[in-house]
A and B are shown apart, each in its own frame.
Chain A
Amino acid sequence: MSVPVASVEPTTVRPPVSEGLGEGVSEGAGEALRPHAEHAFAAELAALAAQDDRPRPARWRLSPWAVATYLLGGTLPDGTVITPKYVGPRRIVEVAVTTLATDRALLLLGVPGTAKTWVSEHLAAAVSGDSTLLVQGTAGTPEEAIRYGWNYAQLLAHGPSRDALVPSPVMRAMAEGMTARVEELTRIPADVQDTLITILSEKVLPIPELGQEVQAVRGFNVIATANDRDRGVNELSSALRRRFNTVVLPLPESADAEVDIVSRRVDQIGRSLDLPAVPEGIDEIRRVVTVFRELRDGVTADGRTKLKSPSGTLSTAEAISVVTGGLALAAHFGDGVLRASDVAAGILGAVVRDPAADRVIWQEYLEAVVRERDGWKDFYRACREVSA
């Protein structure tokens, strides 16, 4: 489901600075296309660590308070400005950091495009100073990716030993008291997910082949991310779920914030696709965002009329792809100005995922809301045309 939007996912709620690779890029990392958070923001982390006089949990680089500041931004007493990494409710970040401090695993849930991965990376960077202990969850993720694998040459030559063992990121995190990250937890097959249960509850990883075990040292924790719209991928078992504190990352709160995110991102994508810049398109973008928000929230922007919500996610990321598609249409087949007709087909495709139910919802929306709205005549007509 999230395939078309996955490419834009991590950046939707990212503040501009993240693209700029600006201050604080450590030497050596400058070559990387996209340096890790702990390198990109090394200067901020160092400044925070220097100023931080609050108690730190074992093996944490910063106090929970400083971690929250790192994510939410702020100005330190010595004047160092910490850029905000996550733009959203403060409560979310506080609960997330506190969860890690209470030694519970953290599960970040959200529809595609809500900066789950971004938050998890920065949390790991701020807490452990290392965001690279990462397991990428896919349908093919094997148990070895979470527990350990074997170096078969070693194994055949010398028999089972610690030297022949290839530790997973999780195992390394346990041994060193670091934060491990598991991306897309719900895509991992259920039996592989189950290996996490012992790790999270007993904090131990047995190695029966050697008659040994790896005990997690203090400071070990897991941050997992999952997409809560992909129902039925590999639903978490309740046993596993119980071991996580869940934080749902919301979609942008205000329409303005969302319009801002969409237009900025569209601009970036447009440039890379060599589409002409379309400053007049902002009204159309606002319209797309309004439609998406209204249908998503099930209520019109003025809060007067309730609506049914279609089955699609209608995330910010999808709004971005609708506008990008519309821009391409306008540039190649239209007069270069983004118009209602350019985005109508895209919106229809995003909204009507279930041809029966969603179509009715969409038409109801058109007739009950769009038709009556001042200045939306062209939009209504364009939508009627493509929906007929």
Chain B
Amino acid sequence: MTTFTPGPLLLGVRHHGPGSARAVRAALEAATPEVVLIEGPPEADALIPLAAEKDMRPPVALLAHVVNEPGRSAFWPLAEFSPEWVAIRWALEHGVPARFIDLPATHTLAWGNEEKKETAEEEKGQEEKGSERKGERGEKEAGASDRSVDADVRIDPLAVLAETAGYDDPERWWEDVVEHRGGAGIGADPFAPFTALEEAMGALREAYGVGGHDRDLVREAYMRLQMRSAQREFGDEVAVVCGAWHVPALRQKTTVAADRALLKGLPKAKADMTWVPWTHRRLSRVSGYGAGIDSPGWYGHLFAAPDRPVERWMTKVARLLRDEDRMVSSAHVIEAVRLADTLAAMRGRPLPGLTETTDAVRAVMCEGSDVPLGLVHDRLVVGDVLGEVPRSAPAVPLQRDLARAQKRLRLKPEPMERELELDLRGETDAGRSRLLHRLRLLGIAWGEPTASRGSTGTFRETWRLRWEPELSVRVAEAGVWGTTVLSAATGKAEADAVAAHALADVTALAERCLLAELPDALPVVMRVLADRAALDADVGHLAQALPALVRSLRYGDVRGTDTHALTDVAVGLAERIFVGLPPACAAIDAEAAEHMRRHVDAVHGAVGLLGEPGAAASGGIRERWHSVLRVLAGRDTVPGVIRGRSVRLLLDDGELGEDEAARLMGLVLSPGTEPGDAAAWIEGFVGGGSGGGMLLVHDERLLGLVDAWLTGVPAEAFTDVLPLLRRTFSAYEAGVRRTLGELVRRGPGARGSAEAAASGIPGFAPDLDPGRADAVLPVLSLLLGLDETYDDFAGVAR
């Protein structure tokens, strides 16, 4: 100990500050204390030795949760460059005890309970950069919605300091003053930065008190008590690593009695702790979730780089861009470093920070474009680092939550495969279905849905259940997503939606969200869905997505979910299809036309459901779809199969009179049209399993048109249209086929004998003229070489 103030060594830090981390290490090396006290929940003391295991890789987080209520939890994330982590590691390496001295999670979690804040998984405790923004994200005293309001009321001590120094951005000020100077003072007094910071914070606290962070007083009282007991045990050789904001309070001389009084009557909740893996992305603010640093990757780099951080950073960036096939030479790196250095000088900063390096990378390596820069930000500035925790870490709360759910729903994990029939009208069965669907979303394939036997009602589900041992590992892995099955499935679904590539994937996900009943995930999924739909230029993709979406809508209705957002998206999707369909149908080959016909069918079905009277979106959507169909039906560049289909759909919906349909058919089947095109039209009109056969059976005029056209097809063209016609008519049911065949054999206009009297073919009487018919027979028999069988023929003719 050099010229440091007597008493315990107080190291005020900025959480997740790489400069602070370095300084902490240097100070600990110099002071070699007997014990290291760290701001954090004391329940985690037993978990500290795990940090030394080789399977432990930051970023990780300490997770505290209420024993019977895993949804109420708090996180203390630690990255490699967190001063707390450095302190833990230093203590473990030097065989010095390390202890957490913050207020126990028992109390902090109970505070949340008291105020009935049910915001699941609010990270807490990890206030940042000494500013102790406890109110914003710390104490669960503010629910997600009113957090920002809270933040406005409270002062941000760092912002005050930065403003005093003439900086508009407190983060930058801290970086310039503390982080970037951290490595500079090699050989200098390792305690000097802490002393200076303590003075500054002391002045701030004199001016602002606790700055609205009332609970800090309680926490600080607890920390002081812990400090005293450590001092009794180890003398003055005690080092404390805590947020810089707390340092003046810990230095304060208070009586034990006064501190005890502050701690009296704190609420309690039984808390459990464990280590969970964390990611850089969750550390970053971008995810709206983390401990609040913008650039964990950059900080990690600053911490890990032994020297020349800017040069090393630019080299990293260049390598990344090269891997992505952008031409970046060493000359680029040199120029980027020069530019960053000069920019820093011009902006009056001691070293290029992230802003300068980013500006330089943009101007030199990315040709001014923000697109590759986005890649740099994603991969390097934030970074895709995933932490690991050793297997020996206590079970994650997700496991417990799952066990509880299994118990509640009387659904035991068994290695034997068995089938489970669920009747969703029952509360327990509905709960089981939800659980299984949620687990499936989390990649825990305990149950696989299978086709229901017997009943096909929507209230029935059949599952094949089998619990494999490795599913436990999956559960542990899924612990990253949340502490309860519900929150984890929600988190996973949201992440999946953002990462999904195809539009159809997102719609499928929406469907699964409804099945698993994840109302909180739905807005995110819908948002992604709307965005994807807006940017997807392929009408086919949109048309594929629509039916699933409409189905979800129906399903949501059945389950009583609020599907308002879903309806909006579905209608938006339909509108986009309406606009894009006619151009997309023009000038395509037969195969594409067939695909497109299926899309038209699917959209028609979906629009039918969407536009049902009483459905939320019925406003004019059917009318708009009909006008699209009319456009399709009347446009010559649209392939015959789609035109025929459109006419048919309009006819079915009663939008087109039979006369009009017959006129259109007559137009297409007139000699001017290519036989192939006409055959395609017929396929579209009456083909497939659409009941077109029955239409022909009942509307003899249409059949007559087809018949007349077919007999008029020239021989050379006939072989071309034959496959098409075969495809069209072979799809009919056997009965329909037979009836049609009989009708055709009877000849045009010949109906069953009962009707035959009414209708007739021009030029022919409704009935046979026996006299005339008999007159033909002798000639016929002569031609055929028959003599005695007049009567048989006569029978046939009749």
Contact = CB atoms under 8 A, between A and B. Distances in A.
Nearest to B571: A368
A306 B530 contact: yes
B689 interface: no
Given A65-B346, A98-B346, A101-B346, A245 B339 contact: yes
A381 to B, nearest CB: 16
Contact of A99 (B355, B363, B578): B363
A65 B347 CA distance: 8
Nearest to B624: A367
B535 interface: yes
Contacts of B327: 238
B499 interface: no
B388 to A, nearest CB: 37
B535 A245 contact: no
Interface in A245-280: 245-248
Interface in A233-253: 238, 241-242, 245-248
Given A91-B359, A246-B363, A367 B343 contact: no
A97 B343 CA distance: 9
Contacts of B578: 367
Interface string A340-356: 00000000000000001
Contact of A364 (B359, B360, B363, B576): B576
B160 interface: no
B580 A247 contact: no
A306 B576 CA distance: 12
A95 B575 contact: no
Interface stretch (B330-338, B439-447, B479-487, B788-796): B330-338
Contacts of A246: 362-364, 366-369
A250 to B, nearest CB: 10
Interface string A300-327: 0000011110000000000000000000
Interface string B222-263: 000000000000000000000000000000000000000000
A297 interface: no
Contacts of A368: 534, 572, 575-576
B346 A247 contact: no
A331 B283 CA distance: 59
A386 interface: no
B537 interface: yes
A249 to B, nearest CB: 9
Contacts of B332: 242
Given A97-B346, A360-B583, A245 B363 contact: yes
A104 interface: yes
A37 interface: no
Interface residues of B, number: 33
A357 B368 CA distance: 28
A69 to B, nearest CB: 11
A109 B346 contact: no
A137 interface: no
Interface string B562-579: 000000000010011011
A367 B625 CA distance: 13
Report which residue of B339, B346, B364, B535 has the largest number of chain A beta carbons within 10 angstroms of its beta carbon: B346
A363 B627 CA distance: 15
Contacts of A107: 368
Nearest to A357: B537
A305 B528 CA distance: 10
Given A97-B346, A306-B534, A245 B579 contact: no
Report which residue of B332, B360, B367 has the largest number of chain A beta carbons within 10 angstroms of its beta carbon: B367
Contacts of A98: 339, 342-343, 346
B406 interface: no
B623 to A, nearest CB: 13
Interface string A68-98: 1000000000000000000000010011011
A231 B534 CA distance: 26
B329 interface: yes
A287 interface: no
B110 to A, nearest CB: 39
A104 B580 contact: no
B531 interface: yes
Nearest to A359: B583
Contact of B368 (A68, A101, A109, A359): A109
Contact of A95 (B363, B366, B531, B579): B363
A356 B583 contact: yes
Contact of A102 (B338, B535, B579): B338
Interface of A: 64-65, 68, 91, 94-95, 97-99, 101-102, 104, 107, 109, 238, 241-242, 245-248, 298, 305-308, 356-357, 359-360, 363-364, 367-368
| Top 5 A-B pairs, shortest CB-CB distance | A246-B368, A248-B368, A306-B534, A245-B363, A306-B531
Interface of B: 327, 329, 331-332, 335, 338-339, 342-343, 346-347, 355, 359-360, 362-364, 366-369, 530-531, 534-535, 537, 572, 575-576, 578-580, 583
Given A97-B346, A364-B579, 10 more contacts: A94-B347, A99-B363, A241-B367, A242-B329, A306-B534, A360-B579, A360-B583, A363-B579, A364-B575, A368-B576
21 contacts: A65-B346, A94-B347, A95-B359, A95-B363, A99-B363, A102-B342, A104-B335, A109-B368, A241-B367, A242-B331, A242-B332, A245-B364, A246-B364, A246-B369, A305-B530, A305-B572, A356-B583, A360-B537, A367-B575, A367-B579, A368-B576
